[in-house]
Amino acid sequence: MSQQTVVSFYDSVTNFFNKAAQHTGLPEGLLEQIRVCNAVYRMLFPVKMQDGQVKVIEAYRVQHSHHRTPTKGGIRYSNHVNQEEVMALATLMTYKCAIVDVPFGGAKGGVKINPWDYSPEVLERITRRYTTELMSRNFIGPSIDVPAPDYGTGEREMAWIYDTYRTFKGADIDAAGVVTGKPVTQHGINGRREATGRGVYYGIREACNIPEDMKRLNMTTGLKGKRLIIQGLGNVGSFSGTISQDEGGAIIVGVGEMEGAIYNKDGFDINDVLKFRKETGSILNYPGAISIPKEQRETILEYDCDILVPAALEDVISYKNAPNIKAKIVAEAANGPITSRGEEMLLEAGKIIIPDVFLNAGGVTVSYFEWLKNLSHMRFGRLEKRFDQQRLENLVGLVERTVGREISDEEKRMIARGADEIDLVRSGLEETMINAYHQIRDVMVDKPKVTDLRTAAFVSAINKISSDYMSLGIFP
């Protein structure tokens, strides 16, 4: 392929699929069924703007695979939304769910607007109208298709979607399961907001904990002390940064945002940078760091670090800048930040790429927990917390009496604490990310021709999805 060939995001995802499909030995018809988007809905609807004028809004919902239902995937508000992009993101969702054993098909939604150009009132009208459009075509529901937040949307939009659905479907006892990423006070779950970033941390930590892989990169084992650069300080980027620093001992040396980027080779406190941005409206001129102006903000990807974490948008690493990337590990927190040609070049240079289909699956994992909570109509931990606590207190008392040493009140509180919802969510997420990483890495061990984590992740996903089709009796 020529270096100048422009490969779209959707083509990149298809290329990744095709590369992995060769290693599965599955028949072409079955692979084709797994590859294609099952349903694409493009809609155009009118919304009254702040000044009273009507504007026609373009929006999409794509359900990539119905091998399991409901389908699941975020809704993106961005000026760059187009059908191919939403199809690519829906496709990734199918593989992502399979990789982390979340029993959903993949979907994605997109509304072609710059959300920062609109007042909350207009955004609410757009969100509610989009929801009713989906309802009128049976494209949304707790057992049909369950959206979640993505770029440009958050808890507020999810609450509007839930409220709109509930208005029309008040008799549906499971209505709260129509959307995830809702505010905790409105049937959301503790730990959803941080989930994708926390999953990114668990995924990077696990990759760094494998001595053979770190040895190959000439790096020490473990995340502690490793230098990170993060592009994008939104939901995913900010939590990836704060948790990697506060819990994993990583050092954040650079961050990039819309207004520019900052870098300090000795690192800075990411919590303080976030506070500075909130107060001044910008990361630029953060004390002690060099500031890179807006026009050159993408160059932050090329600064010296151990781990590069693109956490903003797709296609930011391509054949153009891949040769300049200094990081030895590129951790794809965003969806599709590396083009397929960019990936070839990074792999040829011996780097490890931790792929998006695995690394940012923390969001959908905790969304799954939220959906289960909504269907069970009860928060996690409510039944067993006090029982566990009592049992552990009895055990501590027994140990005290047997050993003859008094255990301090603080130690007792630590040992005998029953789990809250947030503890269970974090524990379930950690287990999921660690398991999935090893499932993927094991594919590389079993199939020596599979030499990168993305191909291994796709092989793992394709095998799991194909077994669903086989059990449905669709394919002999």
DSSP state of 27: -
Q: Is the peptide bond before 70 cis (omega within 30 degrees of 0)?
A: yes
Least CB distance from residue 270 to ligand NAD, whole Å? 14
Nearer to ligand NAD, 248 or 256 (CB): 256
The residue among 149, 209, 211 whose CA lies nearest residue 182 is 149
The Cα-based distances of 168 to 23, 135, 144, 205, 377 in angstroms read 47, 9, 16, 45, 20
**Cα of 321 vs its chain's centroid, Å:** 24
Least CB distance from residue 367 to ligand NAD, whole Å? 8
Buried b (16+ CB within 10 A) or exposed e, 422-436: ebbbbebbbebbeeb
The C-alpha atoms of residue 64 and residue 164 are separated, in whole angstroms, by 24
Binding span for ligand NAD by CB under 6 A among 80-88, 233-241, 317-325, 339-347 = 233-241
Least CB distance from residue 337 to ligand NAD, whole Å? 7
> Would residue 108 show up in a list of annotated catalytic residues for this protein?
yes
Q: What residues from 124 to 163 belong to the interface with ligand NAD (CB under 6 A)?
A: 149-152
The amino acid that residue 305 corresponds to is C
Task: Please give the order of strands across the beta sheet that includes 71-77.
Answer: 39-48, 54-63, 105-111, 71-77, 145-149
Q: What residues from 175 to 204 belong to the interface with ligand NAD (CB under 6 A)?
A: 196
The amino acid that residue 120 corresponds to is P
Binding mask 284-313 for ligand NAD (x = CB under 6 A): -------------x-------------xxx
CA angle 463, 93, 18 (to 5 degrees): 50
Q: Is 147 helix (H, G, I), strand (E, B) or coil?
A: strand
Binding span for ligand NAD by CB under 6 A among 99-107, 130-138, 231-239, 425-433 = 231-239
Nearer to ligand NAD, 115 or 177 (CB): 115
Nearer to ligand NAD, 33 or 282 (CB): 282
Q: What residues from 240 to 259 belong to the interface with ligand NAD (CB under 6 A)?
A: 256-258
Least CB distance from residue 240 to ligand NAD, whole Å? 9
Nearer to ligand NAD, 141 or 232 (CB): 232
Nearer to ligand NAD, 281 or 287 (CB): 281
Query: Which member of 232, 254, 342, 381 binds ligand NAD (CB under 6 A)?
Result: 232
Binding span for ligand NAD by CB under 6 A among 33-41, 121-129, 234-242, 424-432 = 234-242
The C-alpha atoms of residue 101 and residue 32 are separated, in whole angstroms, by 22
Non-local (6+) Cβ contacts of 408 within 8 A are none
Least CB distance from residue 237 to ligand NAD, whole Å? 6
Q: What residues from 327 to 386 belong to the interface with ligand NAD (CB under 6 A)?
A: 333-335, 360, 363
Nearer to ligand NAD, 151 or 202 (CB): 151
Least CB distance from residue 298 to ligand NAD, whole Å? 6
Buried b (16+ CB within 10 A) or exposed e, 294-325: eeebbebbbbebbbbbbbbbbbbbbbeebeeb
Catalytic residue chosen out of the listed positions 108, 328, 351, 385? 108
The residue among 370, 421, 353 whose CA lies nearest residue 177 is 370
Q: Is 235 in the site for ligand NAD (CB under 6 A)?
A: yes
Nearer to ligand NAD, 21 or 93 (CB): 93
Query: Which member of 164, 231, 318, 432 binds ligand NAD (CB under 6 A)?
Result: 231
Least CB distance from residue 255 to ligand NAD, whole Å? 9
**Cα of 176 vs its chain's centroid, Å:** 22
Q: Is 222 in the site for ligand NAD (CB under 6 A)?
A: no
Least CB distance from residue 158 to ligand NAD, whole Å? 11
The amino acid that residue 441 corresponds to is R
The C-alpha atoms of residue 450 and residue 442 are separated, in whole angstroms, by 10
Residue nearest to ligand NAD (CB): 234
Count residues binding ligand NAD (CB under 6 A): 24
Cβ–Cβ < 8 Å for 436, 365: no
Binding site for ligand NAD (CB under 6 A): 149-152, 196, 231-237, 256-258, 297, 311-313, 333-335, 360, 363
Catalytic residue positions, numbered: 108
